[in-house]
Structure 1
């Protein structure tokens, strides 16, 4: 296999949107994965058994001269030279694989068996060789892969759901997911499935046309996925959309007219096809898929524009500027540039408002050098209303870390915090705040509200004594009586 230019371009205009769940995409990905792990997983055992039986049969000595003649008669001189070099390098296994995988050669042998086998050899060869042939052709790649010399309607579709290895599967599913959810959201699940299969079929046909007598089977969803990638960019047509690129050491994002990139895709695959003649990549299947996918989308646009969800396609899904600024803050923290991180965070809060996450971050940054800014951040943080258990645990932890803050935090803020902490996990802290405020003779009505909440909590926990104590306090606070 020749070396390829290290280059990658991926469209990234749209972000994953579960409001438009990609049902058909998930079905296709699941089908490919299930077939690979639960059906194709048996292929290696079948291959090894077939090779082991062939090695022990002694058939190669009589078949090799026939294989040479067979390749010469088909004009496959390059393949013949490759096999002779493998034998010269004592690599018989490579030749056995090629010989056993060639269905045409087995037919050739059957037609000529009386000419190269003695009567004593014939019965053994007919029986054992047919079993070896059946075993190796029961593997998924040879049974359902698209072999140009034996093209069929079945293999035009079945080859799209098989893969040559785990990395082949992983790479294909990655590109399918990256582009597929957008296409399905834009044209609908059933049309997406139909266009996907047609693109794969077109890829298989162009692979066949480029090598009609080939005996190497094509497997993989590459043609169909190329079609999906083409549909992605064709749906946007000349709109400038975002792409991720990797070219040698250069990595980043660019914006370019969508159809311009489609032309680049097709041109690159055709160039690779002619400059990498010995590659095992099915470039023509990719090209066939690209062309079919783009024509399907453009044709659909011409026939009926209403099949497209243009609201989704034109929706701005650019990254929230506030999220970009927050990411910059975290990046500065990773570089230990805490001063600049705090300055950037303060600007973010001023421009976009505060939140518990942002205030927690500011608290942690100012904690490095306790001063007025730290005290202000601490006060602001403790006044936040928690939205979930994780945020409540955070506020409890901050309060426990800074016991001296009680003397500077106003009564209302302390009561609100204690009210938030009236849950079984933090009830002790809520009581501590209540007791401290009672000792300081804090506002009666505020303490009455807190006492009522504590009374209800202890009632729920079955603690009758504390329930009565806090309930009595609440009643006195409400009636305006003595709180002692």
Structure 2
């Protein structure tokens, strides 16, 4: 059974760079760092067989398994004993050697009981040859250098084990889930907090694994604990909201919608059940369970502070926003066509609250306000449209709106002297001297000696630069007459 959330689609205009970076890091580690493990193992097996260690350890391994069956009632050991005896019957020396070399619990058992298992001469031979293999090859393999070993826990391995994998099937499966979950959680939290939360979930997942595997020398590798943390964060972010999930049962698959958080106990229960009843599959079920709890717990504990979800995360995607805008805009335009101006104004105002960056809405509101130039709303819309034009570097539109307002609304509600000053400055910058002079006259009429004097100096400097002496003389005289 497989159930994964499928609520979001990736927006390649804003790629999930941290998620992609984590995927790339795991791939590079697997290819270039772990790529040498096969060669090391081959060398270790060759040295093991040449040293005739199989003859020493084989009988000890059978005795080791039989003791576990007899005293611990471990059913899994029965299967392991049967498989090993089958390898012996088929003279599969290489696979026998691999089984003994990679069973870290058995190696620890040999170290603890070597005085009881062998006579001094055999013990000396075993000690010398096995130690050389361990130091030269086994201890240098990636899983034993940077994997998480419960019996030999190091803080750095709580992070490093997350980037190691046990084979192509392991890494491909993990990275697929990392991509499917990561881009959504990264979008919700932002790149920096997402990366920190991902690594923390992996570390906490590792600690849970250590708690359930005390004393074990079997290393944990893989990103599945961290990815389980992403699953926990994913459903905790959505909470009780109904989202879409994909499920796969045998050969059948489909989608369903459910409250996001309802899947957390389902996932958690599956991991705990498999831990107790699935047998020795090599899967770290309790690490997965720990990751799920860690991810959800981090969001619940820190969701209103450090791990607060970005507000824009819950906004519709751009395509959906465009569709909604088009529909609402068409309704407002239909109201205009029916000359229902008050309704159209309310519809455009509602649209502008959600889409403030769309200038076309402000232009419609300006045109509607212009129908009643005697009301203060016309002046406010004119000023807003002038400011918008200036922000978009469209001086011609700014001056055009200003001139239109002078002819229609200035008599009812005059613009402020600062508005005329901005028009003067922009007009001078774009060499529209006629508009600049007109703005200056409006400023003179309204007073404010400081602004008028500064505007007069700007006009004087511009006309002197253009060698238009009559105009320059006019503004020089005005400047001298200023108090």
Regarding TM over 0.5, the answer is yes
1:194 aligns with 2:196: yes
Paired with 1:261 and 1:127, the residues of 2 have a C-alpha distance of 54
1:53 aligned partner: 47
5+ long unaligned stretches in structure 1: 1-6, 323-484
Tell me, yes or no, if the aligned pair for 2:87 and 2:95 is still in contact at 8 Å.
Answer: no
| CA distance in structure 1 between the partners assigned to 2:302 and 2:315 by the alignment | 18
Q: Does residue 308 of structure 1 match 2:309?
A: yes
Query: Which residue of 272, 275, 285 corresponds with 2:274?
Result: 272
Which of 77, 86, 89 is the aligned partner of 2:86? 89
Residues 183 and 80 from structure 1, CA distance in 2 versus in 1: closer, same or farther, beyond 3 angstroms? closer
Q: Following the alignment from structure 1 to structure 2, what is the Cα–Cα distance between the partners of residues 272 and 321?
A: 46
TM-superposed deviation, 1:209 = 1.8
Is this contact kept in 2: 1:14–1:317, CA < 8 A? no
Aligned residue in 2 for 1:35: 29
Shift of 1:195: 0.9
TM-score w.r.t. structure 2 length? 0.59
1 CA distance for matches of 2:186 and 2:216?
Answer: 35
2:156 counterpart SS class? helix
Partner of 2:275, secondary structure, is: helix
What is the deviation of 1:89?
Answer: 1.1
Matched residue SS, 1:294? helix
Q: Equivalent of 2:147, from 145, 148, 173? A: 145
Q: Residue in 2 aligned with 1:44?
A: 38
How far is 1:285 from its partner? 0.9
1:118 and 1:248, CA in 2 relative to 1: closer, same or farther beyond 3 A? closer
Cα distance between partner residues in 1 of 2:294 and 2:144:
26
User: 1:60, CA displacement in angstroms?
Assistant: 2.4
Offset at 1:187? 0.9
Aligned ranges for residues 371-390 of structure 1 at < 5 Å? none
SS of the residue aligned with 2:140?
coil
- Structure 1 residues 78 and 150, CA, compared in 2 at 3 Å: closer, same or farther? farther
Say if 1:49 and 1:242 are closer, same or farther in 2 by CA, change over 3 A. Answer: same
Contact 2:19 2:186 survives alignment (8 Å): yes
* Other-structure match for 1:22: 16
| Aligned-pair CA distance for 1:103 | 4.5
Cα gap change, 1:151 to 1:53, in 2 (>3 Å): same
Which of residues 167, 179, 196 is equivalent to 1:165?
167
Aligned to 1:361: none
Q: How does 1:440-455 map to 2 (within 5 A)?
A: none
Assess, with a 3 A threshold, how the Cα gap between structure 1 residues 46 and 244 changes in structure 2: closer, same or farther: same
Shift of the alpha carbon at 1:171? 0.9
Distance 2:243 2:289 in 1: 22
Shift in alpha-carbon separation, 1:319–1:56, aligned structure 2, 3 A: farther
Q: For 2:226 and 2:94, how far apart are their aligned partners in 1?
A: 33
Q: Is the Cα contact below 8 Å between 1:234 and 1:294 reproduced in 2?
A: yes
How many corresponding residue pairs?
315
Displacement of 1:318 in angstroms is: 7.7
Q: TM-score, normalised by structure 1?
A: 0.59
Residues 37-436 of structure 1: pairs in structure 2 closer than 5 A: 37-68=31-62, 72=67, 75=72, 77-78=74-75, 80-91=77-88, 93-103=94-104, 105-106=106-107, 108-110=109-111, 113=114, 121=122, 124-134=125-135, 135-303=137-305, 307-316=308-317
Deviation at 1:218, TM superposition (A): 1.5
Compare CA radii of gyration and give the structure with the larger one: 2
Query: What is the distance in 2 between the residues matched to 1:317 and 1:285?
Result: 37
Does structure 1 conserve the Cα–Cα contact (< 8 Å) formed by 2:56 and 2:126? no
- Specify whether residues 266 and 117 from structure 1 end up closer, same or farther in structure 2 by C-alpha distance, changes over 3 A only: closer
Q: Give me the whole-angstrom Cα distance separating, in 2, the residues matched to 1:278 and 1:117.
A: 30
**Shift in Å at residue 288 of structure 1?**
0.5
Superposed CA offset, 1:304-331 (max 9, x none): 67x3212222325787999xxxxxxxxx
Unaligned runs of 5+ in 2: 324-483
CA distance in 2, matches of 1:320, 1:191: 27
Q: Which residue in 2 is equivalent to 1:425? A: none
